[in-house]
A = this chain, B = another copy of it.
Amino acid sequence: MTSDRVVNFSPGPATLPEPVLARVREDLPPRGETGASVMEMSHRSSEYAEIHDGARDRLRRLLEIPESFEILLLQGGASLQFSMAPMTLMGTRRSADYVVTGRWSRKAVAEARKHGAVRIAASTEHEEFRRIPDSDELDLDPTASYLHLTSNNTVVGTQWRGFPEARAPLVADMSSDILSRPVPWDRFGLAYAGAQKNLGPAGVTVVVLRKELLDRAPDDLPTMLDYRIHAEKDSRYNTPPTFPIYVLGLVLEWVDDRGGLEAMERRARQRSEILYQRLDESDFYRGTVEPGSRSRMNVTFRLPSQELEEEFLAAAEDAGMVNLKGHRSVGGIRASLYNAMSREGVERLAGLMEEFQADHG
């Protein structure tokens, strides 16, 4: 299988572990005693319950999520969480602090403003989001209902190295770095993540929510936007996205087999360092973000000219490395290195960078 596979640096939906894809193949009918695919199972069946609860429980163990948090498997992506979080968590205080570090936090702010007052605790927009603000730059409201941040910024390629200390509970969009780093749950109120980068295929959203915050929910929420209902019904109020959840479970199994969260974190550091080292050694490639804010998930850089960038992308594609084009809003090159990316894939890219520089530098 490997030989034909491209190295897929897609920012998401992203590459999946090959053993997971092989298992999906094997599991398709004929399968076990029923001969039914997961796609054909009632979400009320015991067979599906095992898949669903298994994924949820494994995530709890891998991410060391305390029992004081609910783990929900929902639909709608982080974009729906941009609304659900303020609708529930602003409670009666109706004000929340947001740190703006990129395109996605800006979107989170725009949605939250429909439901209450948003204070901008810090923003690096005037610096084109090239860095994450320092803790002492955060202008925090001690009475804020929560402090929202985007833990990793896929477009520009920055990442919070640590999570800030605040009186308000942290709410984090972790779509692009979940399960690649430990989470200090004692400071957290809510973390959410679309699965399609680090966890599995598109179509399922992981929500980890401190149970005591459920009390803040107003009573007139649309049922599908009410965390309390999803918590009560174990994410099976209505039909969940059963197949994406099944693949999520397989990815979590794979993570477990590879050594769990610690291994994922180590591998993420190693993968990204291969590329950052190349950037630091070179005056041909230029990293686009401040070194202290570098993302381990999305490594972004420029070449001396746009023409060379296009040539580089074409050379990469010829060499079987795809989806390296930077986000349309910023241009340049972006290598997305989520959990399923192999070290070998990154080394191939580093090799190409060296060759390309030798030819064009």
Q: Are B203 and A244 in contact (CB under 8 A)?
A: yes
Closest B residue to A76 by beta carbon equals: B75
Bound-state CA distance A203–B78 (Å) is 16
Bound-state CA distance A111–B237 (Å) is 14
Q: Are B18 and A1 in contact (CB under 8 A)?
A: no
State whether A30 and B5 are in contact (beta carbons under 8 Å apart), knowing that A21-B37, A75-B76, A80-B224 are contacts in the complex: yes
Bound-state CA distance A45–B237 (Å) is 33
Q: Are A322 and B34 in contact (CB under 8 A)?
A: yes
State whether A223 and B111 are in contact (beta carbons under 8 Å apart), knowing that A36-B8, A202-B239, A241-B203 are contacts in the complex: yes
Closest B residue to A237 by beta carbon equals: B79
Q: How many copies does the complex hold?
A: 2
The main secondary structure of chain A at its interface with chain B is loop
A133 vs chain B, min Cβ distance (A): 26
Q: Are B18 and A42 in contact (CB under 8 A)?
A: no
Q: Are A247 and B30 in contact (CB under 8 A)?
A: no
A247 vs chain B, min Cβ distance (A): 7
Say whether A123 faces chain B, with CB atoms less than 8 Å apart.
Answer: no
Say whether A14 faces chain B, with CB atoms less than 8 Å apart.
Answer: yes
In the complex, what residues of B have CB within 8 A of residue A110's CB? 223
In the complex, what residues of B have CB within 8 A of residue A202's CB? 39, 43, 239-243
Q: Are B13 and A41 in contact (CB under 8 A)?
A: yes
Q: Which of B1, B25, B77, B239 contacts A25 (CB 8 A)?
A: B25
Say whether A357 faces chain B, with CB atoms less than 8 Å apart.
Answer: no
Complex interface residues of chain A between 1 and 15 (CB less than 8 A to chain B): 1, 4-6, 8, 10-15
Say whether A350 faces chain B, with CB atoms less than 8 Å apart.
Answer: no
Q: Are A41 and B10 in contact (CB under 8 A)?
A: yes
State whether A224 and B83 are in contact (beta carbons under 8 Å apart), knowing that A1-B29, A4-B29, A203-B244 are contacts in the complex: yes
Complex interface residues of chain A between 192 and 224 (CB less than 8 A to chain B): 194, 196, 200-204, 220-224
State whether A5 and B25 are in contact (beta carbons under 8 Å apart), knowing that A76-B76, A241-B241 are contacts in the complex: no
A1 vs chain B, min Cβ distance (A): 6
In the complex, what residues of B have CB within 8 A of residue A247's CB? 39, 243
Closest B residue to A340 by beta carbon equals: B40
Say whether A122 faces chain B, with CB atoms less than 8 Å apart.
Answer: no
Bound-state CA distance A323–B35 (Å) is 13
Q: Are B16 and A238 in contact (CB under 8 A)?
A: no
Q: Are A242 and B5 in contact (CB under 8 A)?
A: no
Q: Are A24 and B15 in contact (CB under 8 A)?
A: no
Bound-state CA distance A114–B223 (Å) is 10
Closest B residue to A18 by beta carbon equals: B29
The 10 sampled A-B contact pairs (Cβ below 8 Å) are A1-B29, A11-B42, A13-B239, A75-B203, A76-B76, A110-B223, A111-B223, A114-B222, A201-B242, A202-B243
User: Knowing that A10-B40, A14-B40, A241-B241 are A-B contacts, what are 5 other residue pairs whose CB atoms are under 8 Å apart, sorted by A's residue number?
Assistant: A8-B36, A15-B40, A21-B28, A39-B201, A77-B224
